[in-house]
């Protein structure tokens, strides 16, 4: 966790990310959550783990859960066409012989629908998201992009239609249904279903643009997502999405507490329901499904004006990582993946019963904390020095992947260490010497040059 913390702090600072929050969940426990930078840069209000952000397209997971609840109540079938439930759906279709637009198709982004409704709502500065009436009135002017079930095309319009089906079958507003049937049962008290003005300049972080050519960040003005809410409208915190993750682990374990979905229904959502012919993209029902380092992950990302987010779940390990930021030009998925890669081995070691011949943790008999801290490198950047067991590790910052930027040091004596060669032989390389220079200052000497500790 110290490694993740140091890396996150540097990425926020060096990447000029306005603010960010991150959380790590193991089963039913939120084991780590923290904020970095500022929720509101102008007022220098710190971001925390309870800061609220737009989660953008992660909203689609809640819409998909609602649809599957109705499926389990026999109010719809995945094979139903959208026209069965929305009599106003009459899009131009040059591929009518390929079959209808089905509910399964819109949940797996394989329906053939275009990506967006007929409005330029991702275009600033006004971001003119359409109302429901505007979406309904313009649907007949749009045209199918592909034959049904032929190609993957991520579609905000598709999940908007899923929300319309949900509202039509229940007679409730989207907000009322999601609040009553998903958010409140899961105790997600800091999650809402629209960009509500009451949260602006308070708990909701101010949104900022990506870094512009002149090095500045522009403030994104307030906007409402209106009719696109089922696809991109929700606000939440990393702490609240941690509850959403823990619910999934409980459900997959067969625990019926807060049973908003059956176990097999959630498993069905997290299985692949569509795959591109070249296997480049796989999708479940609402959930994105992907592989990394031979591991299967499910979840979703979010991107909208002023905000980026990512929700990563590894069901087999009962680990989830969540990242949110109020900076547009940020690769949110990189943060959740790195958080998983750093902490999952430690979680596994801490939760498994070790055999007598396997060492699962590093024992600490030496106190090397006097050498730890952040050292400013001569040519720019920093070196973070942390204690791990009876060794020190040096981490170059900033680093896109901290696990590939670690150097481990063997303590020789006093202030002298040697680099452990990364060839699994335990051989030692050059000396690294720490020199105390008074007033609590410390120099790290390597290859005849030094870095000075900052704090």
Helix H segments across 149-298?
A: 156-170, 174-178, 229-232, 238-252, 263-269
Residue 192: Cβ within 10 Å count: 21
| Cβ contact 93:87 at 8 Å | no
Q: In angstroms, what CA-CA distances link 93 with 101, 141, 148?
A: 10, 11, 10
- The pTM of the full predicted model, rounded to 2 decimals, is 0.94
Distance CA 274, CA 251 (A): 24
Share of the chain above pLDDT 70, in %: 97
Q: What is the pLDDT of residue 354?
A: 58
201 pLDDT more than 90: no
Domain limits, the chain? 2-349, 369-453
Q: Which of 64-68, 254-258, 300-304, 443-447 has the lowest mean pLDDT?
A: 254-258
Q: What is the pLDDT of residue 356?
A: 47
Residue 84, classed as helix, strand or coil, is helix
| Cβ contact 84:104 at 8 Å | no
Q: How confident is the model at residue 359 (pLDDT cuts 50, 70, 90)?
A: very low
CATH topology of domain 2-349: Beta-lactamase (3.40.710)
Q: What is the pLDDT of residue 362?
A: 52
Higher pLDDT, residue 200 or 376: 376
Average the pLDDT over 346-354 and give the result.
83
419 pLDDT more than 60: yes
59 phi, psi to nearest 5 deg? -55, -30
Looking at residue 92, the DSSP 8-state letter turns out to be B
Question: And the tokens for 356?
Answer: 């007598």
Q: Which residues pair with 236 in a beta bridge?
A: 53
Q: How confident is the model at residue 360 (pLDDT cuts 50, 70, 90)?
A: very low
Q: How confident is the model at residue 277 (pLDDT cuts 50, 70, 90)?
A: confident
Distance CA 7, CA 311 (A): 19
Sheet holding 288-292, edge to edge: 45-46, 29-40, 19-26, 319-325, 307-314, 295-304, 288-292, 282-283, 274-275
End-to-end CA distance of the chain: 19
CATH topology of domain 369-453: Lipocalin (2.40.128)
């Amino acid at each position: 966790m110290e490694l993740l913390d140091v890396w996150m702090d540097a990425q926020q600072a060096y990447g000029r990310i306005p603010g960010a929050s991150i959380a790590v969940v193991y089963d039913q426990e939120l084991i780590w959550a923290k904020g970095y930078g500022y929720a509101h840069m102008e007022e220098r209000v710190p971001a925390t783990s309870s800061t609220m952000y737009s989660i953008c397209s992660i909203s689609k997971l809640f819409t998909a859960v609602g649809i599957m609840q109705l499926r389990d109540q026999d109010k719809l079938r995945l094979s139903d066409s959208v026209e069965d439930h929305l009599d106003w759906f009459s899009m131009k279709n040059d591929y009518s012989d390929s079959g209808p637009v089905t509910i399964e198709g819109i949940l797996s982004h394989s329906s053939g629908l275009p990506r967006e409704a007929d409005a330029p709502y991702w275009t600033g500065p006004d971001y003119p998201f359409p109302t429901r009436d505007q979406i309904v009135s313009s649907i007949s002017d749009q045209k199918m992009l592909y034959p049904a079930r032929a190609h993957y095309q991520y579609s905000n319009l598709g999940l908007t239609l899923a929300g319309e089906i949900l509202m039509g079958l229940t007679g409730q507003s989207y907000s009322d249904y999601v609040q009553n049937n998903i958010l409140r049962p899961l105790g997600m008290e800091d999650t809402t279903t629209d960009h509500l003005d009451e949260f602006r300049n308070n708990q909701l972080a101010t949104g900022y643009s990506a870094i512009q050519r002149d090095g500045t960040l522009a403030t994104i003005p307030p906007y409402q997502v209106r009719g696109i809410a089922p696809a991109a409208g929700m606000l939440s915190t990393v702490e609240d999405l941690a509850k959403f993750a823990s619910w999934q682990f409980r459900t997959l374990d067969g625990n019926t507490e807060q049973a908003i979905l059956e176990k097999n229904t959630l498993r069905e959502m997290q299985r692949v329901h569509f795959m591109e012919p070249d296997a480049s993209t796989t999708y479940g029902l609402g959930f994105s499904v992907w592989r990394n380092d031979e591991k299967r992950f499910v979840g979703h990302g979010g991107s909208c004006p002023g905000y980026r987010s990512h929700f990563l779940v590894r069901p087999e390990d009962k680990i989830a990582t969540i990242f949110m930021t109020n900076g547009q030009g940020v690769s949110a998925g990189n943060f959740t993946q790195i958080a998983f890669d750093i902490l999952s081995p430690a979680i596994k070691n801490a939760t498994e019963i070790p055999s007598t011949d396997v060492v699962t943790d590093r024992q600490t008999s030496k106190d090397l904390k006097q050498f730890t801290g952040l050292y400013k490198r001569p040519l720019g950047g920093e070196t973070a020095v942390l204690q791990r067991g009876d060794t020190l590790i040096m981490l170059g910052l900033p680093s896109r992947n901290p696990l590939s930027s670690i150097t481990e040091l063997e303590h020789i004596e006093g202030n002298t260490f040697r680099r452990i060669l990364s060839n699994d032989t335990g051989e030692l390389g050059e000396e690294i010497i720490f020199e105390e220079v008074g007033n609590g200052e410390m120099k790290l000497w390597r290859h005849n040059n030094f870095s000075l500790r900052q704090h």
